[in-house]
A and B are shown apart, each in its own frame.
Chain A
Amino acid sequence: MIRLLLLLLAVFALPARAEEVVMGLSKDRVSITADFDGSEILIFGAVKRETEIRTEPPLEVIVTVSGPVTPVTVWRKERRFGIWVNTDAVEIDAAPSFYAVATSAPWPQVISEVEDLRHKVSVNRAIRSVGAPMNIVDSPSFTEALIRLRETRSLYQQRPVTVTFNESTLFDTRISMPANIVEGTYTVRVLLTRGGRVVSQYSSELEVGKVGLERWLYNLSRNQPPLYGLLSLVIAIAAGWGASAAFRALRSG
C-alpha cells in the first residue's frame, strides 16, 4: 500500500506529457530456493496526465512479462519403417523462455496488427524465426508447436481481460510463474493504448535467480566439475555404506 502511495506521489510530482504510464512490481527479485514451487507477482501502476480524461476511444492497458531469450530447436516426428522418428527440425532464432501477456480488454480492442508488429506484444510476435531449411514448407507450424508446447507447461500465457483498470487511471494484474522457469533477467512491460495505438510504455526488470544451497550447488557444478563429481560419488558411497551399517546394527541389536 505504501508503495502504491509513493507511486501516486511520483505521478503528481513529475512533469508529464499528455498521458504517461508508470508501474511498480510487488517484488523486483524472484528467489529460487529448495522449496520453490512457482511465484506470483503483482504488477500495478497508474496513468498520469495533465489534461482531462478522454473516454473515447477508451484507454487500455497491456502487461507483458518476458524471460531470457534463447534459440530453440523444434523437431517433428514422422513414421518411418513403422516407428516414429524425428525427421524435420526448425531452429527458432529467438524465443523467450517465459512469456505472459495480460490485457484489460479482448485482444482486438487493445492493439492493432501494425502496432503489435512494431512493439512485439503478442506471443507470436515475441518469437523471432528468420529462416527455416529449404525442405520445410510449413515453418509456421513449428512456431505454433513451440507456443502450444510451452503453453501446456504454463511457460507461455495469454491472459486477455485480466488487468483491472479503474477510472482510466489505476491498474493492476497478477502473473503467476511456474516452478520450471529458468534463471535470468526478466522484462516487465506496460503498454498504454488508445484505439489500438500505443500512446505510452514503461518497462522494468525482474531478476529470477537461485539462492542459498541451490546457487552454491549450481555454481560448483559449473566451476569445479571434477570436485562436484567427486562430491556426488562420496555422498553416494557414504549413503550406501551408512544404510548397510545401520541395517546390520538393527539386525544384531
Chain B
Amino acid sequence: MQIYLPIAEVSVNVFLLFGLGGLVGVLSGMFGVGGGFLITPLLFFMGIPPAVAVATGANQIVASSVSGVLAHLKRKTVDLRMGTVLLGGGLVGAALGVYVFNLLKQVGQVDLLVRLCYVVFLGIIGSLMFVESLRALRRSKKGGPPKRRHHGWVHGLPLKMRFRTSGLYISAIPPVMVGLSVGVLSAIMGVGGGFIMVPAMIYLLGMPTKVVVGTSLFQIIFVTAFTTMLHAVTNYTVDILLALVLLIGGVIGAQFGTAFGTRLKAEQLRILLASLVLLVCGKLALDLFLTPADLYELGVQ
C-alpha cells in the first residue's frame, strides 16, 4: 500500500515505513539512543529528500523517546536532575550548532561535512565502546570483582552537585560541557545525539548503565523537540504524515526494546550498540570512498 507524503512530495510504501519506525523504536528503548543516526540515512535510501528526512526524523524521535522515558520512569531509572543539567548545556549547544550549520551552508559542502561527521564520530565511539565492553565482558566471565572507578580530574572541579539516582557527587561543569558538545553535534548532524550521549555518560561522568538509558532519552525529548520546531519554522521540512507512520511503529517498538533491554547484561547491551554504530559507520564510509554510480547529482532546491 502506497502513501503520498504531502511535504516530501513522494509516494512510499506504508509497511516499509512502519517497519523502519518499529526497528528504530526497539533500538531506542534498548539502548537509549534516539535512532536518528539510523533513521536519517535509511530515509535517504528510500528516496525521501534529505532535508525532510532530517527534520521528520527529529519529530519521530520525540515520540519514541517519550514512550521509552515513561517506561524508564516507571522503573525509576531516570536521573531527572542530571537530565536537566545536561539539557541546559544541550539547548545552548543546539542553538550554537544551528548557527555553525548555516555558516557552512553558505560555503557549500555542508552535505559532505555532515557525512564526514557521521563517519568520524560513529567510528571513534563505536570502536571505543566495542573494545571496552569486550574487555569488561571477559573480566566478568573470569569472575573477578569489578574495579572501583578511580577519581580523576573530573572530581576536582567546583560547583559540586549530588545526583542521587546515579549515586554521584560531582561538579556540574562536566555534564553541562557534555550536553553542550552533544547539542552542537546533534544540530549539525540532525540527530538526537544519544549515540554520543550514552558513552559520554558512562565513560566521562561514570554513571551506571541502567540509569544512563532513561536519562539520555529524557534529554533527547527536549533537544529533538527544539530541533523539530526549528526545522518546521525555518525550512518547512517536517512531514507530519511521514512522522505519523514512523512513530506508530516507533512507539510500539520502544516498548519492546525496553523489555528486551532489561533482560540483557550491561556489557552485552554495549557490545550490541557498538556493533550497530560500526555497521552504519562502515556503510557511510563506503559511500564516500567508492566510485559513485553516477558522478552527477541534482541539487536540493
CB within 8 Å of B: which residues of A? 32-38, 70, 72-79, 82-86, 89, 142, 145-146, 148-150, 179-180, 182-183, 210, 213-215, 217-218, 221-222, 225-226, 228-233, 235-237, 239-245, 247-248
| A179 near B11: Cβ-Cβ < 8 Å | yes
> Which label, helix, strand, loop or mixed, suits the secondary structure of the B interface?
helix
Q: A73-B298, A228-B238, A243-B252 known; A248 and B74 CB under 8 Å? A: yes
| B3 near A35: Cβ-Cβ < 8 Å | yes
| B11 near A240: Cβ-Cβ < 8 Å | no
Residue in B62, B70, B241 whose CB lies within 8 Å of A244: B70
| B295 near A236: Cβ-Cβ < 8 Å | no
> Which label, helix, strand, loop or mixed, suits the secondary structure of the A interface?
helix
Residue in B3, B10, B70 whose CB lies within 8 Å of A180: B10
- Asked whether any CB of chain A lies closer than 8 Å to the CB of B296, the reply is yes
Residues of B within 8 A of A77 (CB): 292, 295-297
Of the A-B pairs whose beta carbons lie under 8 Å apart in the complex, a sample of 25, sorted by A's number, is A34-B241, A35-B2, A35-B4, A36-B11, A74-B296, A75-B299, A79-B291, A180-B11, A180-B47, A217-B7, A221-B236, A222-B236, A225-B232, A229-B231, A232-B228, A232-B243, A235-B247, A237-B66, A239-B247, A243-B67, A243-B251, A244-B71, A244-B251, A244-B255, A248-B74
CB within 8 Å of A: which residues of B? 1-4, 6-7, 9-11, 47, 59-60, 62-68, 70-71, 74, 108-109, 111-112, 225, 228-229, 231-233, 236, 238, 240-241, 243-244, 247-248, 251-252, 254-255, 288-292, 294-299, 301
Question: Which residue on chain B has the smallest CB distance to residue A242?
Answer: B251
Q: A89-B299, A217-B6, A226-B233 known; A83 and B70 CB under 8 Å? A: no
Residues of A within 8 A of B292 (CB): 77, 84
Q: A34-B3, A232-B59, A240-B251 known; A226 and B296 CB under 8 Å? A: no
B51 to chain A, nearest CB (A): 13
Question: Which residue on chain A has the smallest CB distance to residue B111?
Answer: A86
Q: A74-B299, A221-B236 known; A244 and B2 CB under 8 Å? A: no
Residue in A86, A218, A229 whose CB lies within 8 Å of B7: A218
The CA-CA distance from A177 to B252 in the complex, in Å, is 36
| A149 near B294: Cβ-Cβ < 8 Å | yes
Residue in B59, B70, B248, B294 whose CB lies within 8 Å of A233: B59
The CA-CA distance from A230 to B225 in the complex, in Å, is 9
Residues of A within 8 A of B3 (CB): 34-35
